[in-house]
Amino acid sequence: MSLDENWFTEIHHGTGSAFSLQVKGKLDEEQSPFQKITIYDTTDWGRFMVIDGCTMVTSRDNFLYHEMMSHPVLFTHENPRHVAIIGGGDCGTLREVLKHPTVEKATQIDIDERVTRLSEVHFPELCESNGDPRAELLFDDGIKWICEAPAASLDVIIVDSTDPIGPGEVLFTPEFYKGCHEALGQRGMVVQQSESPLLHMEIIEKMHRSLRKAGFDDVRTLFFPQPIYPSGWWSATIGRKGGKIEGFREADVEQRPFQTRYYNADIHRGALAQPEFFKQAVAGWG
Ligand code: SAM
């Protein structure tokens, strides 16, 4: 919804808040078989993608999300070789994953090919690693793909999905987490964007309970800023098989052979620090 023609506004219903960006114009709009995808040019945030009226990605702040969805888990797993990205059609997470020299194969499974094709046009910098021989781009339903994946075939699963409404809803179900658990090898890890700790604790609680029920031995939520998402404070929740989430390959982070703009060892440690209200809530979830 727009306040006037120069502003895009997403109202966060039920929260008494909204987020706006000043736009210069609409560059593209498509109704795919799954969702409505709109690309704007903005005055100060570069290109801006919206799916079904929800903010997805801007040129200016996407590095926060893409780095935090990939580097903490990849530097926690001892030797991540096989990675799956469920959703992630803008390809920014794939680009970060492929920066890791241990990764031999990264498969991205997004339900909607149009998100990727529009990203190639409007966010070419996010798609610059799509031609990497280790990258495989598939267009399919993530839950179907995960449930059909050979047992113990993956080291890390990154769920870079839309919100739990529309086609993304199935990616927040116990059935999906069970599929992830089976597809992961020993000490395998899944990470999923888990919305705002300020506004969506019920989603995070459900995720913690479902991951535990699916058999994950350790479950942790990490926090990071994300200006364009509701409340500006975002989270990702990690589940791990047969191992702890605390602790990571700090020496490898220090000597990483690539640049990051947000992520480093201090950010990793800080992102895992649990705010008091969150700690108390988790204790109540058993
Ligand atoms: N960073 C964004 C956020 O948190 O709002 C997510 C961006 S990414 C563009 C989300 C992607 O999830 C979309 O491209 C969408 O097509 C994909 N998606 C939604 N449901 C899916 C499903 N069931 N299987 C695979 N991909 C799905």
Atom of ligand 1 nearest to the CA of 170: 23
Pairing state of beta strands 36-42 and 47-51?
A: antiparallel
Nearest residue to 126 (alpha-carbon basis) of 155, 149, 152, 160: 160
Kindly give the distance from the C-alpha atom of residue 165 to the centroid of ligand 1, in angstroms, as a whole number. Answer: 11
Determine if the pTM surpasses 0.95: yes
- The 10s digit of each residue's pLDDT in 78-127 is 999 999 999 999 999 999 999 999 999 999 999 999 999 999 999 999 99
C-alpha–C-alpha distance, residues 109 and 142, integer Å: 6
Active-site residue 252, yes or no? no
Whether the CB of 195 sits within 6 Å of ligand 1: no
Kindly give the distance from the C-alpha atom of residue 51 to the centroid of ligand 1, in angstroms, as a whole number. Answer: 9
The CATH number of the domain covering residues in 2-58: 2.30.140.10
Q: Write out the two tokens for 260.
A: 């990051």
Partner residues linked to 19 by β-bridges:
10
- The residues of the chain scoring below 70 in pLDDT are 1-3
Kindly give the distance from the C-alpha atom of residue 36 to the centroid of ligand 1, in angstroms, as a whole number. Answer: 12
Ligand 1 mutation target, pool 108, 161, 203, most atoms within 8 A of CB: 161
Atom of ligand 1 nearest to the CA of 229: 5
Whether the CB of 142 sits within 6 Å of ligand 1: yes
pLDDT of residue 3: 53
For residue 244, which phi and psi values (nearest 5 degrees)?
-95, 155
pLDDT of residue 185: 98
CA geometry: angle at 111 spanning 124 and 159, to 5°?
A: 80
pLDDT of residue 64: 98
Query: Which sequence spans correspond to the domains of the chain?
Result: 2-58, 62-285
CA geometry: angle at 206 spanning 201 and 210, to 5°?
A: 150
pLDDT of residue 164: 84
- Architecture, CATH, for domain 62-285: 3-Layer(aba) Sandwich (3.40)
Looking at ligand 1, which residue's alpha carbon is closest to its atom 15?
A: 87
Whether the CB of 167 sits within 6 Å of ligand 1: yes
Nearest residue to 135 (alpha-carbon basis) of 179, 99, 183, 189: 99
